Structure 1
């Protein structure tokens, strides 16, 4: 099982990127605009888009992505059942490595839900 503290990981990533945001403000604004436009409600709901984003994070083995997208899903009112169904597809498509990151995503979900991280 993962030993990641996803709340701490998110905080560390944000802190570590602070200097980069100052050094490359246009690039970071562009990334933020891309994220906002991509995740906006449309033919797919924002929740479905976040489930897709988390699935990519799991199959690409990105712990930071897992933390950020689990947090976003909880804010959007996703259920653990929705998370688990999406993770089953990840395991189907990504095999054993995706299964290892599925455990990490479940831990992130449970720890953030227990600590109320979604409101931060």
Structure 2
């Protein structure tokens, strides 16, 4: 059964909102770290999101894949840039990463289809 990554992204947003009410310090601390780490600097946010996606594939984190495919596209990454990122992730993570690269490819297709729908 395939994962609906746009739905997963939405569900995680809702859950993080709920978790932030119970663990506000930890969640706000992580949110601040995320904001600062992904802010444009010497590297554009798009490249930082692509790096995060590559790491997500290499460490095999489905939820991270949902976030970073979404956020890489939002930051302006192209289809080709995401695909090249998946290739590097597979090289770094071997066979297991190749399987998660398939998951990220599916997420890419779903988010692109969702963004092209009226």
Whether TM exceeds 0.5 here: the answer is: yes
Q: Which runs of 4+ in 1 moved over 6 A?
A: none
SS of residue in 2 equivalent to 1:78? coil
Normalised by the length of structure 1, the TM-score is 0.89
Other-structure match for 2:95: 96
> Map of 1:1-120 to 2, 5 A cutoff?
3-116=2-115
TM-score, normalization by structure 2: 0.91
Counterpart CA distance in 2 for 1:103 and 1:112 is 14
CA distance in 2, matches of 1:64, 1:34: 18
Number of residue pairs aligned between Structure 1 and Structure 2: 116
Please, which runs of 5 or more residues in structure 1 have no aligned partner? none
Question: Which runs of 5 or more structure 2 residues have no equivalent in the other structure?
Answer: none
Aligned alpha-carbon RMSD (Å): 1.5
